[in-house]
Structure 1
Amino acid sequence: MPEGHSVHRITRQFQRNFVGHRVTVTSPQGRFVVGAAQLSGHTVTDARAVGKQMFLEFDHGLWLRIHLGMYGAWDFSGDILMDATMASANGRMGQTNQHGTELKDGAEAPTFDAAGENSIFSIGAPRRTRVRMSEQEKEIDLADTFPPEPVGQVRVRLLSDTVCADLRGPTACEVLDPAQVDAVIGKLGPDPELDNTPEAAERFVTTVRKKPTPIGRLLMDQSVVSGIGNVYRAEMLFRAGLNPHAPGKSLSDATVRALWRDWAHLLHIGVATGQMMTMDQLEGDQYRLAMKNRADRHWVYKREGLPCRVCGTHIVLEEMAARKLYWCPRCQA
C-alpha cells in the first residue's frame, strides 16, 4: 500500500500539471460515470494530501477524494512538468531515472534503482512521457499519441490540453462537498508534512499515551497518525528500540515525542527522494548501494530470518494489524 510519502509526491504532480487547468473527466471503466459527469468541464483549483489520501478541488466547490489502497496507481502521460527537484535531509538531490539528465549545483550523478523504481525530478521543462506513480515511481514507455488509449481498468481519467492522468484500482474514488471533505480529514491523525507544529506533536503524544493498544498497532491507525504504513512502522519501531507489543500508555511522553520527530524526518526524506530510506548516515558507495537495492535501505523490513544489522539476532516475522511485522527480539526487547 502506498505510504504517506508516495501520496504527497503524487499530489505535487497534480499541483504542477493540473491546478489552474480545465479538465475533461471520464470513466473509461464505467464505474465512475456519475462522479465524472459532476466534475468534467471544471478547473482544478487545489490538490492536497493528508496521510494516505489525496483530494482534488474543482472551481464549483466539489472535491475528488482518492484512496489508492493496496492496488491503486496513477499513470501520467503527455507533456508532463515533473515535480521540482527536491533535496533530501542530508543534502543530496532527489534520485532520478531520467538517463542523460544534466545535474546542476554540483549534485551527485543519479543512482538508478535495480528495479527501475527511482523517483523523477524536474529539468525545468515539460517532457512528453508516461510515468507510473503508486508505491514506487517508474518511467515507462514514451507515449506515441496523446491522449493514449486507456490501458486496463481505468476508473477515472483527468484530461487537460497537455496532460492525462489515469487512475486504476483505488480503494476509494468519490465526489465530496467541502463539509464532507472536512469530515474525512477531521477523522485523520496529524501529518507532519502538513503540520509539524508542537500542537500536532502533542496531539499525537496525547492520543498514544491514552491507549492500551500496542504501539505497533497505533502507528498503523490513521486516526492516530497519518501516512505510516507497514515499512515505516517496522523501521520506526526498530530505530526507536521499541517492542511492537508495548502498550501506548506504557511509553513516556519523551519516547512518543521522539517517534513523532522520527516520522517527520523519514517522511521528509521519502517526499524528497521518492524512496523509503530508513538508514541514516550512509555515505558514498553505501548510499548508492542502498538507493539501488531495497534490501540495503532498511534495518528490519523484509529481513525475516536474517541477522540483525546491529546485534546479529535473527529478525522475526509475525502478523499485527493484519499486516506483516518485522522486528528484532533483542534490540526491541
Structure 2
Amino acid sequence: MRKTATQNGGKIPAQPGPKDASAATATSASASAEPVILGAGPVVRPGERATVRLRDAGPDDPPRYAPEWLELREGADAAARAHELLDPLRIRLANLPGKAGLVIHDLGCGTGSMGRWLAPRLDGAQHWILHDRDPYLLHFAAVASPRTGADGSGVSVETRRGDVARLTPDALAGASLVTASALLDVLTREEIETLADACTGAGCPALLTLSVAGRVELTPSDPLDEEIADAFNAHQRRTGLLGPDAITVAAEAFSEHGATVRVHPSPWQLGPAETALTAQWLRGWVGAAVEQRPELREPADRYLRERLEACQAGELRVVVHHSDLLALSRPTGGAS
C-alpha cells in the first residue's frame, strides 16, 4: 500500500478505534500494578516482531507500539541521538551523484519521530518514504511530519506498509539514505544481513539509531539491578532476536559489505524531568525480566514498587545505554 500524505504538522492525535491504550503515567507505589501503555517499554513477547514487519501479521493484529508510548519517549530519543554522526552524514549526502533532492526511507517509522528530528537538520529538498506495518502509526507519522528542512527547502512524505525482511537493493533504488530508530535490537541476524545487503547494494548510507546496548545504570543503586538487567537482556534475545548484540552484528554486516561504519553512544539520561517515561520504562524493563525468570517475581515486585516511589519523589536517575550506527556505503554511481 502506498499513498501520498498531506502534511499539517501538529501534535500526534490519539489512536482511533477500539484499541484502548491507557496512558498510565502515575508513579506512586500503587502504580506498579497499573497496566503498561500498550506497546510501552522494551518488552518483546514471544512471537512479536518490530512494527516494520508484515510476515506473520494478520489484519487484526494489534500494533506493536502504541502512539502514546512513542510520544512519551520522543523527547528522550531526540536528546540521546548522536549528533556526532551528522557531519559525516551531511558530507556524504552533499556528495551523492546526480541528486536533485534527498530520498530518505524511514524503516519502522512509528509516529515519525526520526523524521521530526532529522529532516530539520538536513539541507535541500527531501522526500521521506515512511515504512511501518501499522496504518495508524503511518497516518500519525505523515500528518506530524516536518514541512521544511534546515535551509527552508520543502519536505514531502509518502507512506508504505512494508517488511524489512523483504528489502532489496531494487526496493531502495534511488534512495539517498535509510534511517531507523530503535529497530536493530528487535531484528534477527538474518534480517540485519538483509538490511545491510539492501543498503550497500543500493549504495546509500544508513543511520540506525537507539539500539539497546544491554547496560543500565540506576542511581541510587540496588542489589537487584544487575540481576534484573541480566534477565531483561536474556529476554531480548528470545526467539532469535539480537537484543543488545544487534549493534555489533550490524556493524560487522555493513563492514563486510564494504561500508565504512561509525558507532557512537546515544544513552537516555532520565531524571526528575522524565518521571512519566521512567515509570513506564521501569514497568516494561522489570516485566520482561520477570517473564524471563518467573522466580524473580516476588523480589521484583518489591524492587519495582521502591523504584517507582523514588521516581515519584524525584530521587531516581537512570541511564539507559544505546548506540547509534552510521554506515557509509560506496555510492553505486562510483563516487567515494
Superposition TM-score tier, normalisation by shorter sequence: under 0.3
Higher-helix-fraction structure: 2
Q: Give the structure, 1 or 2, with the largest relative contact order (CA under 8 Å, sep 6 or more).
A: 2
TM-score (norm 2): 0.25
